[in-house]
Structure 1
Amino acid sequence: MSSVRAVRDSVLEIDNRSWLVADRLIISLQPTAPSSGPFWSDGADAFYTISELAGEHPLPPTCPLPSSSPVQLVHDAGDANAAWRIGEAFLKVQTQFRPKCTREHATLDYLHDPSNNLELTCSIPRVLYHHEFNERYYLITTRVPGEPLEKAWPSMDEEAKQACVTQVVEACKELARKENDTICGVDGDELSETWLTVSQAAEQQYSHAALLAACRALGMVETTFSLAHCDLGPMNVLVDLQNGSKVGIIDWEMAGFVPKTWIRTKFRVCGAMNFDFAMGDEERAGDWRRRVQLHLAREGFPEVAEAWKRLFWEDWHARFG
């Protein structure tokens, strides 16, 4: 096998009907659905499949994805993570910086499991395939209809905007009904919520004890913790304007049990949930999270935003002067 490639270069073309992923997985386009194994539609009349390359086989010749390829890179975050649209599914590849934290496939499976009695009114992906090797995580999920609010919001009318806010707040309420006595992911592993601690330390801790201490420092006194998505920014909320502004929610890797107070606080303090299209206009940039946090306030969600900001800047000045 060759050396590990950059995340963005994980997918290479073998021919116009097959692709090599991370020198280990083969995605193929087939005319009919297979009788077993994961598969999904190409959006027309064919199906994609994924399988593992037999260890004794040499790697097939490959080339970079051409612009005409049906497999398209749609997200590239340096060498941390990348995503490709492949028919009616998405492949995500992530460098695994937090190996003790809950994986996204575990969360999605939990949300879809009828025994957990979670009825979400928004659309969410289903897991088609997952794997982990060479310190990278590979996940294929179904495509959720709609386009990100980041793209759709500027052309939406007020009624559609408010419909999105209402649906996301309803999703927050539906999730929060599931409770736990530990701050953690749905499977009990650590929670990858990087904003819950205000420290700028390079090695943040994500255990229940570490996150609970951070919560107590902020004045969050809950002893029971509510399920939350924790990253409902405008790239992770989709709106299907052709279907009554129906909302979908993607990217569940940060989801888990947190103090209910944190759900609204996150919207108040997290600049990463701003619109990028606003180009420095703070009022427009914060429109989405401002609307959501105000609606959450009306639904009785508390917040500790001022305490978070105060501790954040105290830590900043202590570290950087």
Structure 2
Amino acid sequence: MIKLVYDAGNSSAVWSIGQSAFCKVKLCEAGIKPEAATLAFVHAQRPDFETPTVLLEREHNNRSYLFLSRVQGRTLGDAWPTLDEKWRHHYMKTIVDVCKFLEKWKSDIPCGVHGNNALEPLLIKYCAEEDYSPGNLQRGCESMGMDCSKFVFYHADLGPGNIIVENIPKTGSVGIIDWELAGYFPKGWIRTKFRISRGLNLPDTATDNPTEWRAGVQELLGEHGFEHYTSQWVSWWG
């Protein structure tokens, strides 16, 4: 059975195909590499978390069509109401470990995996031109006082909907999906993103405290030496 599970109008949509695959369709953007390239790069690093496998990738009429395997389990957002404090803290710590694993990969510029533009809307000033070029992103980060001597790899969208956990927690393993925003950013952006982005909130249906997830992760990141630039970002973004 094919079912529409996400619809962003003319820009992108996602269909589930049975219980084993997804099809993601989106408009191609100049300077942005497709998600398939990022997934291939991540797979090559042999992470200890699961990621989708690219089954097929095509472009037609300025749209990309990406068929991916389904990471089995359920989203952390769906699982959250059923988890006790032990498992909630476990998944927070696991995502901090994922961030520490990814940050080992470095670049001299803020960019995607192959030096292309990195699609991070929160590093574009409010109402400014959508310029995701490395030079523009670096100027913004430098104006916030972030260390831009090196840039580290970051998923950049680690909300509860993009983290797959076991239906019934046993091993505590996770899968990470939706790598469209991933790229190289200042290390200071990792914790900052968790502090400022409502897109990383838990769904309202899962809790009466939707910021609990990202608040917990950012606190643990701080314990592991990750700085944040929250007030600087607020002043800069406008």
User: Normalised by the size of structure 1, how large is the TM-score?
Assistant: 0.70
Equivalent residue number for residue 81 of structure 1:
12
Following superposition, the deviation at residue 77 of structure 1 comes to 2.2
Note if 1:93 corresponds to 2:25: yes
User: Normalised by the size of structure 2, how large is the TM-score?
Assistant: 0.94
What letter matches 2:166 in structure 1? D
Equivalent residue number for residue 130 of structure 2:
204
Distance in 2 between residues matched to 1:139 and 1:72, nearest whole Å: 15
Equivalent residue number for residue 89 of structure 2:
162
Equivalent residue number for residue 235 of structure 1:
161
Query: Which deviates more, 233-242 or 223-232?
Result: 233-242
Equivalent residue number for residue 71 of structure 2:
144
Superposition map of 1:110-129 within 5 A: 110-113=41-44, 118-129=45-56
Match of 1:286 among 198, 206, 211: 211
Equivalent residue number for residue 215 of structure 1:
141
Match of 2:222 among 297, 307, 315: 297
Equivalent residue number for residue 108 of structure 2:
181
Listed as ranges, the gaps of 5+ residues in structure 2 are none
Distance in 1 between residues matched to 2:11 and 2:171, nearest whole Å: 35
**Contact kept? 1:183, 1:257, Cα under 8 Å:** yes
Equivalent residue number for residue 233 of structure 2:
308
Following superposition, the deviation at residue 199 of structure 1 comes to 2.8
Distance in 1 between residues matched to 2:81 and 2:10, nearest whole Å: 30
Following superposition, the deviation at residue 99 of structure 1 comes to 2.1
**Contact kept? 1:198, 1:308, Cα under 8 Å:** no
Distance in 2 between residues matched to 1:199 and 1:174, nearest whole Å: 31
**Contact kept? 2:81, 2:207, Cα under 8 Å:** no
**Contact kept? 1:180, 1:226, Cα under 8 Å:** yes
Following superposition, the deviation at residue 278 of structure 1 comes to 5.2
Following superposition, the deviation at residue 244 of structure 1 comes to 2.7
Match of 1:172 among 92, 99, 102: 99
CA change 1:162–1:128 in 2 (3 A) is: same
Following superposition, the deviation at residue 280 of structure 1 comes to 9.8
Percentage identity across aligned positions? 38
Superposition map of 1:262-281 within 5 A: 262-277=189-204, 281=208
Following superposition, the deviation at residue 279 of structure 1 comes to 8.8
- CA distances 1:25-83 after superposition (whole Å, capped 9, x unpaired): xxxxxxxxxxxxxxxxxxxxxxxxxxxxxxxxxxxxxxxxxxxxx11222222222211
Q: CA RMSD in A?
A: 1.6
Note if 1:224 corresponds to 2:155: no
More relative contact order in 1 or in 2 (CA 8 Å, sep 6+)? Answer: 2
Query: Which deviates more, 223-232 or 152-161?
Result: 152-161
Tell me which stretches of 4 or more aligned residues in structure 1 moved more than 3 Å.
278-281
Following superposition, the deviation at residue 95 of structure 1 comes to 2.1
Distance in 1 between residues matched to 2:93 and 2:48, nearest whole Å: 11
- CA distances 1:101-138 after superposition (whole Å, capped 9, x unpaired): 1210000001112xxxx242221111111111212111
Note if 1:132 corresponds to 2:64: no
Following superposition, the deviation at residue 200 of structure 1 comes to 2.1
Distance in 2 between residues matched to 1:259 and 1:309, nearest whole Å: 17
What letter matches 2:146 in structure 1? M
- CA distances 1:1-32 after superposition (whole Å, capped 9, x unpaired): xxxxxxxxxxxxxxxxxxxxxxxxxxxxxxxx
What letter matches 2:104 in structure 1? R
Larger helix proportion, structure 1 or 2?
Answer: 2
What letter matches 1:307 in structure 2? Q
Following superposition, the deviation at residue 221 of structure 1 comes to 2.3
When the two structures are aligned, how many residues end up with a matched partner?
Answer: 236
- CA distances 1:155-199 after superposition (whole Å, capped 9, x unpaired): 211111111111111110000000011111111111111112233
Listed as ranges, the gaps of 5+ residues in structure 1 are 1-69, 316-321
What letter matches 1:248 in structure 2? G
Distance in 2 between residues matched to 1:259 and 1:225, nearest whole Å: 5
What letter matches 1:167 in structure 2? T
**Contact kept? 1:150, 1:277, Cα under 8 Å:** no
